Amino acid sequence: MTAASHLNDLALPPLAAIRARIARAAALAGRKAADVTLVAISKTRPAEAIMPLIGEGQRVFGENRVQEAQAKWPALIEAHPDIRLHLVGQLQSNKAEDAVRLFDAIHSLDRPSLLHALARAMDKAGRRVPLFVQVNIGAEDQKGGCAIADVPGLLSEARAADLPVEGLMCVPPAGIEAAPFFALLGKIAADNGLSGLSMGMSEDFETAVMLGATHVRIGSALFGARAG
């Protein structure tokens, strides 16, 4: 980023600045900004903090917890029916039905038991919700996600259950360069015939866009740091 670009971004509202940065990163990679979906991560944010972004035209939002989303979003969606809500946090199998009813995409498919719960929930609802398989890209014990070696098997089960897997999702290890992990996720996706890549957050989304991200999940850069 040039110094002039950085100064221009500082003069813009956060949403416009993020969109400009996505567009620049996409152009550097020979991509179109329209090919990258900005998922505004609104977890823990009250409706009054979300409404200004809706007013500026943002329509795709991400939540971590089904229960929080159920309390916050129905009224907002009723007022703005074109909003699309993505679940980006870990999902318990017993919440699969609620998730399928409320969300328009789920980024956290990571195990067969959840796969089967989602298949039952989608059959019951008569609705197919796009899924991303969450990959534990850094093989971190403390993180959720499917092991890299297990991705082909989980995808095979999902396809057998007629589940619409759109792509892969990852959260790279903190504190080290994210690019190799994004590149690895892209390779795994390509090897398995997938084009969707949910990767990149506030601190590294430009790198993710240059490495093929189709969805970037941005919270603090839009809303500011969370209290506490």
What are the boundaries of each domain within the chain? 35-223
pTM of the model: 0.93
- What string of pLDDT tens digits covers the 228 residues of the chain? 554 455 566 678 999 999 999 999 999 999 999 999 999 999 999 999 999 999 999 999 999 999 999 999 999 999 999 999 999 999 999 999 999 999 999 999 999 999 999 999 999 999 999 999 999 999 988 888 999 999 999 999 999 999 999 999 999 999 999 999 999 999 999 999 999 999 999 999 999 999 999 999 999 999 987 654
Which tokens go with 146? 């499917």
- The pLDDT score that the predictor gives to residue 144 is 85
Domain 35-223 architecture: Alpha-Beta Barrel (3.20)
What whole-number distance in Å separates Cα of residue 127 and Cα of residue 105? 11
Q: Which helix (H) or strand (E) holds 170?
A: strand 165-170
pLDDT digits (tens, 9 = 90+) for 16-70: 999 999 999 999 999 999 999 999 999 999 999 999 999 999 999 999 999 999 9
CA dist 39 and 217 (Å) reads: 5
Rounded to 5°, the CA angle 40-10-48 comes to 40
Tokens describing residue 46 = 């009250």
SS3 163: coil
- The answer to whether 145 and 135 have CB atoms below 8 angstroms apart is yes
